[in-house]
Structure 1
Amino acid sequence: MDTETQGMIERKPLLLKDVPTDSSEMERRVQGENNSAVRQSNEEVENSDTPIRKGPEDEAAYAVSEVHSKDFGAVQNFQPQSLVGRTVKSPTIDSQEEVAMAREAGVPEASRTVSVINVQLAAPSTVPKDSSNAEPADVSSISSASSAAVTAATIGKDACIRVMDGKEYIVVPPEPVWQCPYDISTLSNQEASFNTDVFKQEGEELHFNWRVLELAVHPTTDTPLLERLKFLCIVSSNLDEYFAKRMFDIKTGDPALYATLSEKIHQLCRVQEECLLEDILPALEECHMHLTRFRDLTRTQQDSMCLYYREKVFPLLTPLSLDTTHPFPLLRSHSLYLAVLLQSEEEKRLGRLGQPHFAWLRVPNRVPRFISPNDDPCKFLPIERLILHNLDTLFEGMHIISTHPFRVTRNTSLDLDSIYLDEDEDFLRVVEENILKRQRRAAVRLEVSSDVPDALLTVLKEQLDLDDDSVYFVRSPILGLKDAFPLSQLKIFPELRYPKWEFHSHPTLKMMKERNISFFDAMRRTDLLFRFPFHSFDESTLTFLQTAAKDSSVFCIKIVLYRCGDNSPVVAALVEAAQRGVDVSVIIELKASFDEDQNVLYARILQNAGCNVAYGVKGLKTHAKVILVIREENLENGNKKFQSYVNISTGNYNASTARLYTDLSFYTCKADICADIQDLFNVFTGISRKKSYRKLLVSPMFMLDQFLDLIQVEIENARNGKPAQIVAQMNGLTESRITEKLYEASQAGVQIDLIVRGMCRVRPGVKGKSESIRVISILGRFLQHARVFFFMNHGSKPKFFIGSADWRSRNLISRVEVVTPIEDSCLQKKLWKYLRRLRTNEFEGWEMLSDGRYRKALHQDKPRIRNDGDGGVTYVVGGVNIEEEPKSVFDRLWLDETEDDSEHETQSSGGTSREEDWKSKKHKDNREPLQVYKAGCIAVRVNSKGVNQVLLITARNRESMLEGGEADAWVLPRGTVLSSETPAEAAIRETLEEAGVGGEIGPLICTTQQRKGRKTIETSWHLLRVDSQASTWDDAVRRRRQWFTFTEAERLLTKAHFREAVQQAKAMFKG
């Protein structure tokens, strides 16, 4: 979906005791409850059979009030005015096979051959005597022709279970949405990458929604009941956007594809509804959570509900009739309506229907969709049922025959990029005007209760200009299932939700509090990397902005806002900064799909606060996530300078979604990256035409070409017999040139792991084309939103990048995106560990098959997820942690070294094989011995008093230290020797990174060996005469350094191999 962080409108269930008596207070409270919530969706959505219309009593059907038997004939002869004078025929079931299928589907005999004017009503015995105050009875006997048609393509919720390789898997969808007509293995790389019959984007979006649906239908982790309901709501929300963005253009441009997609969406919706009606709702009833009817409430509860209706609901209702003086109303997209069929009391008394009467009623979205009685918070009455019971207050003197809920989806996407603007036009005003036009766009879908009479259905279809494929009949008691999202968040049922997620404080933030230093002080010492939601957005990004807003030394703040949610604390911090006199520049993207109105509002607020507001680069969408803070600081010599601080993130500056989306946030004050960001903001706010950058990858300039070059390096290494590997995580991969290059890389022997949550154009496992490519999609409690790229780059330091860009054409060609390299060795190790966990996630990972479908193994034991405190999750079954997959050769040569006593190692050049990386099951004690080569320096100097000294640094030998902590044990600087280095070169590099000193390298002093488990570590020690000492260096925030005499150093060093090296240096060094 184009709205990667767009949240559903949350209308929380309301306890009557919480209802304010003041209407203005009620309005403020409801507005405050419109918060963003997570949506599992891919970046582009965020898709028949003639459906079965079958409504269980008191569930899907709404309303037929008191009718006497003499009404039956009159209603049967009823035709709406729009149908008078012509005949409308309904489909009939003729064949024995169809009759048998209809019987199996539960379609009543009497309803299998009916006409559009046949509206059967409930028997008089089921009708309350006091019709003036009675809730219209639920009816499942109102027949309609379309409810009879059943096709052989009906798919149940267990149709996705398949046995493959002797193991049970969930395979979704059961059949590919779009069947490729070619054998991909026979196509050239270019044909396989560019042919639209191989990859159909609209079908891939439905594949994604099938995967989300299965989180509710067949969860493979310990997923509580309300969380399963949440996933059903997410699917409904995703489909809302799919229809709003896609289906109109498909229907008008490719009718055959439209018919195929409609059939598949109907199948998906049937499985979703089956799960809700047969699994979720009955299970919630067993847990004493009741979706109730008005007549099931006690008399006291009914009275309190009616009081709430009169005071809070009735004033918001506007009944709209349909006749010659009242045209068909404008039905708003995604709003719930009630269609009411009426007759006058005189007509009822005379036993004839006479002139038909239709009325429409919009259910207000300013009140919660579900209301609970004061004395029973476990009961939830849908607001439409309360309205149904009180319809007589709206239609006095009329007899209510039946009432049917329905919902319309319109083509509400805005193509703002195609709008031509004169130089003097205000783009903000143009966007506002187009937002207002949304609700008049063409209808693309009608959702209606399964009991709807054919006469009413025909009126709706005619007025909305919809065909049968666009009608979706709903048996569920909740029409517009995404409105049930607040039910999944109820705090009164903690056992039915995920346990509360506990953030882990970043070690650097702990150090800041302990030492009372600022965020800026920490950034000057080292680069920082935060992972959401494992670390807190409020403690990191929000603290960074709030600190800048209040700091008198801050000169300016520049930021890009794409989606920042309702009531944004980020916007509040920017307003505060501007009001304090800080020069604040905000690039706000007005074309963020389905967030246009929110961003227009923020643009006005920020402008009124005194911020410089721009809308990005003309013709491009600005999707980058960057912040620049410029601060005036004092130098040691008393002069002043301007110091820049930069944040580059993979996700939006949205405090709500940061708790639900997995993202990375990088902080640095390195001069080259800061200068690049400064240049980029000059492009945003001025007329600069910058075409190259020092460090950053920026689209649409050269990012695509740079990624292709990085892949080409791996191809050349593989062809030369060297290890080559690519691991990339993103939201979507649709760029054809990237796909073609990845196929070429696979054919060369590059090992490729693609972690793609949504759409992916690459087809893995195709013989002769993509056998070394694996594609996985991870879906679960948190939405995977980060973009991370790894290239082994054998013979040199590995290359890691993070940023806002997916490998999609729109990101690389049509948007301004920023991707930054991560060059700090410690942060690189953390990123590799992060990627490794994703690649081995068998509980939440779906593996793509070569036909584009996905599979995931079924597990007898469903693990529970918890925060492991290290920026990731651990899976727990029965209180026992599930161990990770064995490490690859690449892991063992690089990451294992972080467990040694000198932790800040650089990646080894070891290779990796698919079998070792993914399939190995050997216990670590059975692995072959491993030889590791390291190099280090004995850094020496003569101080001002003529005393010979040696430099020691503190070790970081625990995992927490990798995030920025310190230890008190003293060690010598050393690290792993890369294949492209001599030991002396490695020793110099490691000493500069770990201790921040340089100088003249001396001879080899000695070689020491140590055993650590199955590893033998051989270290070459060189003498370094120090002649330069930096005030800041890579490891400054993680280590302390200090000069000691040789005697003091020997006493402080606890490791024998360190003492041996110092003793040898002492004998050799003559100050």
Structure 2
Amino acid sequence: MDTETEKTTEEKQSSLGDLPRRSPHIGQEEQEEHYLKDHKSVEKVGKVNLSTPKESESPVGCDVAEVNTKDFSTIQNIQPQNLIGRTVKSPTIDSQEDIALAREAGVPEASRTVSVVNVQIAVPLNVSMDSSNAEPAEVSSVSSASSAAVTAATIGKDACLRLLDGKEYIVVPPEPVWQCPHDIGKLSNQEASFNTDVFKQEGEELHFNWRVLELAVHPTTDTPLLERLKFLCIVSSNLDEYFAKRMFDIKTGDPALYATLSEKIHQLCRIQEECLLEDILPALEECHMHLTRFRDLTRTQQESMCLYYREKVFPLLTPLSLDTTHPFPLLRSHSLYLAVLLQSEEEKKLGRFGQPHFAWLRVPNRVPRFISPNDDPCKFLPIERLILHNLDTVFEGMYIISTHPFRVTRNTSLDLDSIYLDEDEDFLRVVEENILKRQRRAAVRLEVSSDVPDALLTVLKEQLDLDDESVYFVRSPILGLKDAFPLSQLKVFPELRYPKWEFHSHPTLKMMKERNISFFDAMRRSDLLFRFPFHSFDESTLTFLQTAAKDSSVFCIKIVLYRCGDNSPIVAALVEAAQRGVDVSVIIELKASFDEDQNVLYARILQNAGCNVAYGVKGLKTHAKVILVIREENLENGNKKFQSYVNISTGNYNASTARLYTDLSFFTCKADICADVQDLFNVFTGISRKKSYRKLLVSPMFMLDQFLDLIQVEIENARNGKPAQIVAQMNGLTESRITEKLYEASQAGVQIDLIVRGMCRVRPGVKGKSESIRVISILGRFLQHARVFFFMNHGSKPKFFIGSADWRSRNLISRVEVVTPIEDSLLQKKLWKYLRRLRTNEYEGWEMLSDGRYRKALRQDKSHTPKDGVGGDTSQNINMEEESNFISKSLFDRLWLDDTEDDSEHETQSSGGTSREEEWKMKKHKDNREPLQVYKAGCIAVRVNSKGVNQILLITARNRESMLEGGEADAWVLPRGTVLPSETPAEAAIRETLEEAGVGGEIGPLICTTQQRKGRKTIETSWHLLRVDSQASTWDDAVRRRRQWFTFTEAERLLTKAHFREAVQQAKAMFKG
């Protein structure tokens, strides 16, 4: 490189002549550290040897379904006028139970004896203050522009929220993105549901990104530094998509809204940049992770980098100049460019400082954005800094005045539904053509370094046809922050990341491995439900499909693919099956946003392999997640039949995202569901117009009406004084008719919990309209992606559904979606536990306020430290299962409340050996709330052995499987479990005995009823006699329990619990009689 390129800042500025700089204090020397970005991965560079670490396999998140969390208080409509400036007395913490509770809640030692705390709340701008009722108000100062902090002790019963002593809360965004001019409480249900002033989808998307940003800015859990960087990258990625999909239409259709949104986005980006510059990067430096400059490398490292540049980078560079013979180039969306200001050597020598020459250089995305020297994996050199050092190889004979990185975002969304197709046109070809047109569409945003000269900025704005609102000046050293995502996944800094996630093997899968049983055999035994990423996608869905692909008895495979990721093992399994002669039909959605090119590629691959490929239903997106496998099997009489096996999932068949997203996957071979899926594939591949389905809810034909009917049932039950409750988890809720029905349900008294990760049209806690509705958004290590729906149905026969559909208009009207009922009582029980934990997840949950903003508890002890980037443990998801008044009133909770020992899968032990849930129960049992009645049923399973001796079957407690044979007395129990609302005690006894002990037979008479007290809970157990006539070699709990036959006398000696001994004694007396 020319030595003059290394001139000082002052010399560089003087050579610009009259060109003013936006930030004169930033010169060429500092520009090397003024931007960063990575497109694929971080690469280590040696003199010759180049290596790229594989992307981390450990997922980024925590499965809230598998951890215990603390219960939310019922937070509906905050009324600041009742709280501001008041002093509220809180109980003094003195008892051991209170101290334990305070310790669990994260209250510092110094705060535990404080009995009076001043309550200060930041007033939402849309809340009017009634001077006749409010006391003199004192608005608290907000320490950060990104959030409003609320510090409170115990708030009176008149308020709609309860806070722990000393707990801080953050509210985001500081102001609603869109100020609603109406009093929602005075609008009719229809007006509140359909009025666009109440709900702006564009604003709600920004609300979501603000919550994600807070995970990095104000982490309320022990979030490691690189994970905080990851959340900043996610915000940038989301904003890229937001601009590409939304901003062009908003700018041309609603300029006022565009101006409002631009102001909010600029504010959000400033907070993001401040967090990166003032918090994340300095902390990473202290942890010895360096974003380095070329000049800071050793001589050996510089030589290695230059060799890498010559071999890997220089061949990919194409300089483009701007003059009369070189028009302004086509700038690709989301690519990083360097704008280079040049002057010829002759002009420089003659002292002619006129208008400089402009040139553009695209930073190639085929090489990693960051590269590390082989001898120092803690240093990361941005690829653009390496290019800067070697610019003389590109612009020979020119004097380089300055360089300025920039990035363009274009309106790249494709509206493929609006394209008219002739009957003989190939839709695949049309999609391919439209993908190529993306890069020629209008620019909507320019991101540029803050030191850009005005002359260069003017050229860019004029050529891209952008106004000042569309320009985003970047001070950060990383322009295009989403490309730094691979840095957050580096394995060389494990202490700066979440601990490696360990999958839990499903009990059925364990049994399959131990007993050499096929997936199809397991499905014939019972329906299966997997939860990702708690369970492994590879061991379940992928194994199912790979087994089908290799099974000589499989006749056909049918599947819907929406997003399946790069190098998909699902596609590989389908190709293998087709090449083996299996009839494979694939419905692949070519209109999956921003995955169109990937799906076009897969469509070609599958067609070439011999698969039948279709693109769904004309005019609709196919978003369902369904697999159908048909297998020829032998009957006992020697005949053969075709048996169908079905998988219905809430998430995509994507092995990569299954490690990061929480989803549910349901496997069944029940005839009615299989027949429905077969009919659905006939719609996909043929011209069938199915009018009804046996079990499935299918959109756009019937699903919306069916959901409205299910809500109406709850409304009628509530009006008739019966228990009524709705719990629903989804990604978004924007459908106006659903919203209107939920308002009606709330006014009828239905208790409603909505767990909505993203946009939600419902406004909770509005007096007289939605006081019994609570909306929670859960954000954390994992992306909540499942769709689960629960309707109490009077508690007699609860209804559960899972599937691919959100309660959004596009899902219910414009897409083909599938939602399936879950009717197996055991799986219903698991789903209820899953929903219960989501509802009580304070650590990752944001609660919506009535103005559409969200609030979240802010922990007293900050989780990260500059030294190691972690700080504290990762137990932020441990749950002290406090039940709010709302939850405790739920009949369904009472019916399905289990003992702690029955839920050891999620039990977490404290350092003292007692579970935190038990510690909390010891505390809450001392209150005066009404007692709970829990009903269980069990069996006295008996047989006569070969010697004519009566024997009784005992099993080990689930947490005692490590006991030696015939070990301690309290290791042995009787089969027993909770009576579900949909079954009788006798049915429950048979089911529990089969699941826990693997035996069946003829149910006998009721032997006795026993009772036991646990705090305020009374457990009543009905004991039935079971004459065993079958004993399975494998059963559901085989991997967690042992079983053994004993005489009645031995059983009495081994059973230490009084209620177990009483049941055995009654059975013994019956036999003697």
Give the TM-score normalised by structure 2.
0.77
- Once the two structures are TM-superposed, the CA of residue 1017 in structure 1 deviates from its matched residue by 3.6
Contact 2:495–2:870 at 8 Å: present in 1 too? no
| 1:880 aligned onto 2:878 | yes
Contact 2:33–2:292 at 8 Å: present in 1 too? no
- Once the two structures are TM-superposed, the CA of residue 1007 in structure 1 deviates from its matched residue by 3.8
Q: 1:415 to 1:42 in 2, by over 3 A?
A: farther
- Once the two structures are TM-superposed, the CA of residue 343 in structure 1 deviates from its matched residue by 2.1
- Once the two structures are TM-superposed, the CA of residue 515 in structure 1 deviates from its matched residue by 1.1
Contact 1:65–1:135 at 8 Å: present in 2 too? no
> Counterparts of 2:501 and 2:135 in 1: how far apart (Å)?
43
- Once the two structures are TM-superposed, the CA of residue 242 in structure 1 deviates from its matched residue by 0.4
- Once the two structures are TM-superposed, the CA of residue 466 in structure 1 deviates from its matched residue by 0.7
Q: 1:241 to 1:111 in 2, by over 3 A?
A: farther
> Counterparts of 2:496 and 2:149 in 1: how far apart (Å)?
38
Range with greater deviation from structure 2 (958-967 or 468-477): 958-967
- Once the two structures are TM-superposed, the CA of residue 374 in structure 1 deviates from its matched residue by 3.2
- Once the two structures are TM-superposed, the CA of residue 605 in structure 1 deviates from its matched residue by 0.7
- Once the two structures are TM-superposed, the CA of residue 89 in structure 1 deviates from its matched residue by 61
> Counterparts of 1:327 and 1:786 in 2: how far apart (Å)?
49
> Counterparts of 1:1069 and 1:71 in 2: how far apart (Å)?
48
Deviation track 1:917-955 (CA, whole Å, cap 9, x = no partner) reads 999972478766544344567789999999999999998
> Counterparts of 1:321 and 1:946 in 2: how far apart (Å)?
99
In structure 2, what is the equivalent of residue 207 of structure 1? 207
Q: 1:71 to 1:305 in 2, by over 3 A?
A: farther
- Once the two structures are TM-superposed, the CA of residue 633 in structure 1 deviates from its matched residue by 1.6
In structure 1, what is the equivalent of residue 946 of structure 2? 944
> Counterparts of 1:55 and 1:121 in 2: how far apart (Å)?
44
- Once the two structures are TM-superposed, the CA of residue 205 in structure 1 deviates from its matched residue by 0.4
> Counterparts of 1:14 and 1:765 in 2: how far apart (Å)?
62
- Once the two structures are TM-superposed, the CA of residue 1064 in structure 1 deviates from its matched residue by 6.3
Contact 1:504–1:534 at 8 Å: present in 2 too? yes
Q: 1:378 to 1:3 in 2, by over 3 A?
A: closer
> Counterparts of 2:747 and 2:632 in 1: how far apart (Å)?
53
Contact 2:293–2:381 at 8 Å: present in 1 too? yes
| 1:443 aligned onto 2:470 | no
In structure 2, what is the equivalent of residue 669 of structure 1? 669
- Once the two structures are TM-superposed, the CA of residue 433 in structure 1 deviates from its matched residue by 0.5
- Once the two structures are TM-superposed, the CA of residue 140 in structure 1 deviates from its matched residue by 37
| 1:356 aligned onto 2:356 | yes
> Counterparts of 1:73 and 1:946 in 2: how far apart (Å)?
59
Contact 1:229–1:488 at 8 Å: present in 2 too? yes
Range with greater deviation from structure 2 (116-125 or 485-494): 116-125
DSSP-derived class of the 2:150 partner: coil
Contact 2:527–2:666 at 8 Å: present in 1 too? yes
Q: 1:918 to 1:69 in 2, by over 3 A?
A: closer
Q: 1:959 to 1:768 in 2, by over 3 A?
A: farther
Contact 1:529–1:667 at 8 Å: present in 2 too? yes
DSSP-derived class of the 1:162 partner: coil
Q: 1:931 to 1:298 in 2, by over 3 A?
A: closer
- Once the two structures are TM-superposed, the CA of residue 150 in structure 1 deviates from its matched residue by 29
Q: 1:450 to 1:5 in 2, by over 3 A?
A: closer
DSSP-derived class of the 1:272 partner: helix
Contact 2:932–2:1017 at 8 Å: present in 1 too? yes
> Counterparts of 2:397 and 2:245 in 1: how far apart (Å)?
43
- Once the two structures are TM-superposed, the CA of residue 1069 in structure 1 deviates from its matched residue by 9.2
Count of residues in correspondence between the two structures: 1064
DSSP-derived class of the 1:921 partner: helix
Q: 1:250 to 1:117 in 2, by over 3 A?
A: farther
Q: 1:469 to 1:6 in 2, by over 3 A?
A: farther
- Once the two structures are TM-superposed, the CA of residue 250 in structure 1 deviates from its matched residue by 0.4
Deviation track 1:306-337 (CA, whole Å, cap 9, x = no partner) reads 22212211111111111111111111000111
DSSP-derived class of the 1:769 partner: coil
| 1:1009 aligned onto 2:1007 | no
- Once the two structures are TM-superposed, the CA of residue 1047 in structure 1 deviates from its matched residue by 10
Deviation track 1:993-1013 (CA, whole Å, cap 9, x = no partner) reads 989999998865544445556
Deviation track 1:399-433 (CA, whole Å, cap 9, x = no partner) reads 22222111110000000111111111111111000
- Once the two structures are TM-superposed, the CA of residue 834 in structure 1 deviates from its matched residue by 1.5
> Counterparts of 2:682 and 2:747 in 1: how far apart (Å)?
43
- Structure 2, unmatched stretches of 5+, are 884-888
> Counterparts of 2:191 and 2:165 in 1: how far apart (Å)?
31
> Counterparts of 2:789 and 2:511 in 1: how far apart (Å)?
30
DSSP-derived class of the 2:51 partner: coil
Deviation track 1:505-533 (CA, whole Å, cap 9, x = no partner) reads 22221111111111112111122211111
> Counterparts of 1:483 and 1:257 in 2: how far apart (Å)?
29
- Once the two structures are TM-superposed, the CA of residue 192 in structure 1 deviates from its matched residue by 0.4
| 1:843 aligned onto 2:843 | yes
- Once the two structures are TM-superposed, the CA of residue 286 in structure 1 deviates from its matched residue by 1.7
In structure 2, what is the equivalent of residue 514 of structure 1? 514
Range with greater deviation from structure 2 (629-638 or 55-64): 55-64
Contact 1:328–1:463 at 8 Å: present in 2 too? yes
Q: 1:819 to 1:884 in 2, by over 3 A?
A: same
Q: 1:346 to 1:426 in 2, by over 3 A?
A: same
- Once the two structures are TM-superposed, the CA of residue 297 in structure 1 deviates from its matched residue by 2.4
Deviation track 1:179-233 (CA, whole Å, cap 9, x = no partner) reads 0010100001110011010000000000111111111111111111111111111
Contact 2:42–2:372 at 8 Å: present in 1 too? no
Range with greater deviation from structure 2 (862-871 or 761-770): 862-871
> Counterparts of 1:196 and 1:127 in 2: how far apart (Å)?
19
Contact 1:61–1:138 at 8 Å: present in 2 too? no
Contact 1:189–1:740 at 8 Å: present in 2 too? yes
> Counterparts of 2:922 and 2:82 in 1: how far apart (Å)?
70
> Counterparts of 1:446 and 1:89 in 2: how far apart (Å)?
53
- Once the two structures are TM-superposed, the CA of residue 353 in structure 1 deviates from its matched residue by 3.9
DSSP-derived class of the 1:353 partner: coil
- Once the two structures are TM-superposed, the CA of residue 654 in structure 1 deviates from its matched residue by 0.9
- Once the two structures are TM-superposed, the CA of residue 271 in structure 1 deviates from its matched residue by 0.6
Deviation track 1:133-173 (CA, whole Å, cap 9, x = no partner) reads 99999999999999999999999999999999974222111
Q: 1:256 to 1:118 in 2, by over 3 A?
A: farther
Range with greater deviation from structure 2 (484-493 or 66-75): 66-75
> Counterparts of 2:817 and 2:565 in 1: how far apart (Å)?
20
Q: 1:428 to 1:868 in 2, by over 3 A?
A: farther
Contact 1:774–1:847 at 8 Å: present in 2 too? yes
- Once the two structures are TM-superposed, the CA of residue 648 in structure 1 deviates from its matched residue by 1.2
- Once the two structures are TM-superposed, the CA of residue 302 in structure 1 deviates from its matched residue by 2.3
Contact 1:557–1:630 at 8 Å: present in 2 too? yes
Q: 1:520 to 1:118 in 2, by over 3 A?
A: closer
Q: 1:7 to 1:836 in 2, by over 3 A?
A: farther
Contact 1:59–1:476 at 8 Å: present in 2 too? no
* Structure possessing the higher relative contact order (Cα contacts under 8 Å, 6 or more residues apart): 2
Give the TM-score normalised by structure 1.
0.77
Q: 1:10 to 1:884 in 2, by over 3 A?
A: farther
- Once the two structures are TM-superposed, the CA of residue 26 in structure 1 deviates from its matched residue by 35
Q: 1:511 to 1:911 in 2, by over 3 A?
A: closer
Contact 2:97–2:923 at 8 Å: present in 1 too? no
- Once the two structures are TM-superposed, the CA of residue 350 in structure 1 deviates from its matched residue by 2.5
DSSP-derived class of the 1:957 partner: helix
Q: 1:821 to 1:633 in 2, by over 3 A?
A: same
> Counterparts of 2:7 and 2:559 in 1: how far apart (Å)?
22
Range with greater deviation from structure 2 (632-641 or 133-142): 133-142
Contact 1:116–1:144 at 8 Å: present in 2 too? no
In structure 2, what is the equivalent of residue 998 of structure 1? 1000
Q: 1:4 to 1:840 in 2, by over 3 A?
A: farther
Q: 1:678 to 1:382 in 2, by over 3 A?
A: same
Contact 1:902–1:973 at 8 Å: present in 2 too? no
- Structure 1, unmatched stretches of 5+, are none
In structure 2, what is the equivalent of residue 456 of structure 1? 456
- Once the two structures are TM-superposed, the CA of residue 829 in structure 1 deviates from its matched residue by 1.9
In structure 1, what is the equivalent of residue 726 of structure 2? 726
